[in-house]
Amino acid sequence: MYMEMKLAQRVVIGYYKTKFKTIGLLSPRKAAESAFRFFCTPYVKKPGNKVPPIFHKASRLSFELEGITVRGFHWKPAQGTGRKVLVAHGFSSYGYKFEQYVQPLLKEGFEVFIFDAPAHGTSDGKMINAILYKNMLLRVEVLYGPFYGFIGHSLGALAISLAMEEMPDNHNKKMILIAPATETSRALRQYCRLLNIKKETQAALETIIESIANRSISHLSVNRAVRQVPTPILWVHDQHDRICPFKDTLPSREHPLPNLHFLVTEGLGHNKIYRDQRVMKEITSFLLG
């Protein structure tokens, strides 16, 4: 993984390894605070200047969340069914990347909403975490819902699974999780290994996350969340996903739920999977079923 990084990324990683080690010698807590900011800061914050044509046809939306302006896009079909679908992007991504979802969903009569998460795309902010993203989705449900379907990729999928637990009437909704950030505890361990973060700093980092979530890190788990809701769920994951490993899905695959269906792909990885035509057709079929 490290060898596949671009030179600029390796330089940044090297810098933060040294930074966290130096700060940690004086104060594991301060090192953890710095590590948390880095963990929550997207490396791609803004989209390019080229706006996909379909976004020129959207209505622009915005609202305030915890002092941050969140911005999004809304499309209405020519002949609607009254059902609304929300698309949530992943970490260091943005709404424009899901342009190919808009027209097929409109064709089937769905209203389509896409919001840029805080610190991403057209929205304001400097950092994002699963709890802030979850709160954003709950706010969107109140302001623009009720939503019938939620489609999320990576961190967006984790946030959707957490938000769904708190949504009223969730048995009348559908949830599509594409390559979700399945287990926060594993992601954190991987992050700490990558940056050679010492155990004392890692423990302090876990404490920071748990204080924000007001829960243990084990609560920030898609495997746990899907067992708490009656929502029909389509979970799409590639066997060779190197960002959110397929092995993390094992608890849900070994103990299947009647409302949970897996679509397992091979060779699409973490990002190609949400752009795959077969996957998109399966998602549309699931929403219509």
CATH number, domain with residue 260: 3.40.50.1820
Helical H segments across the chain, by residue range? 7-26, 28-39, 53-56, 99-107, 130-144, 155-166, 184-194, 199-213, 222-225, 250-254, 277-288
Which tokens in the block code for residue 156? 């967006």
pLDDT in tens, 89-147: 999 999 999 999 999 999 999 999 999 999 999 999 999 999 999 999 999 999 999 99
Q: In this structure, are 154 and 278 located in the same domain? A: yes
Nearest-angstrom CA–CA distance, 91 and 102 = 20
Q: In this structure, are 128 and 196 located in the same domain? A: no
Q: In this structure, are 227 and 86 located in the same domain? A: yes
Chunked into runs of 10 residues, the chain (289 residues) has average pLDDT values of 42 64 75 90 77 96 97 94 95 95 97 97 95 98 98 98 95 97 94 87 93 95 97 97 96 94 97 97 96
Q: In this structure, are 123 and 251 located in the same domain? A: yes
Q: In this structure, are 269 and 208 located in the same domain? A: no
Q: Which domain holds residue 1?
A: 1-39+188-217
Query: Furthest-apart CA pair in the chain: how many Å?
Result: 63
Q: In this structure, are 30 and 51 located in the same domain? A: no
Nearest-angstrom CA–CA distance, 235 and 42 = 25
Contact call for residues 73 and 102 (beta carbons, < 8 A): no
What pLDDT sits at residue 16? Answer: 63
Q: Which of 157, 145, 27 is nearest to 87 (CA)?
A: 157
Q: In this structure, are 227 and 280 located in the same domain? A: yes
Q: In this structure, are 199 and 231 located in the same domain? A: no
Number of domain units in the chain: 2
Nearest-angstrom CA–CA distance, 226 and 205 = 26
What pLDDT sits at residue 17? Answer: 67
Nearest-angstrom CA–CA distance, 173 and 286 = 12
Q: In this structure, are 208 and 225 located in the same domain? A: no
202, 217, 232 - which closes a domain: 217
Q: In this structure, are 124 and 252 located in the same domain? A: yes
Contact call for residues 120 and 92 (beta carbons, < 8 A): yes
Q: In this structure, are 160 and 96 located in the same domain? A: yes
Q: In this structure, are 282 and 156 located in the same domain? A: yes
What pLDDT sits at residue 4? Answer: 38
What pLDDT sits at residue 26? Answer: 62
pLDDT in tens, 231-244: 999 999 999 999 99
Instruction: State pTM to two decimals.
Output: 0.92
Nearest-angstrom CA–CA distance, 210 and 195 = 21
Which tokens in the block code for residue 195? 């940056």
Cis check for the bond before 146: say yes or no (omega within 30 of 0): yes
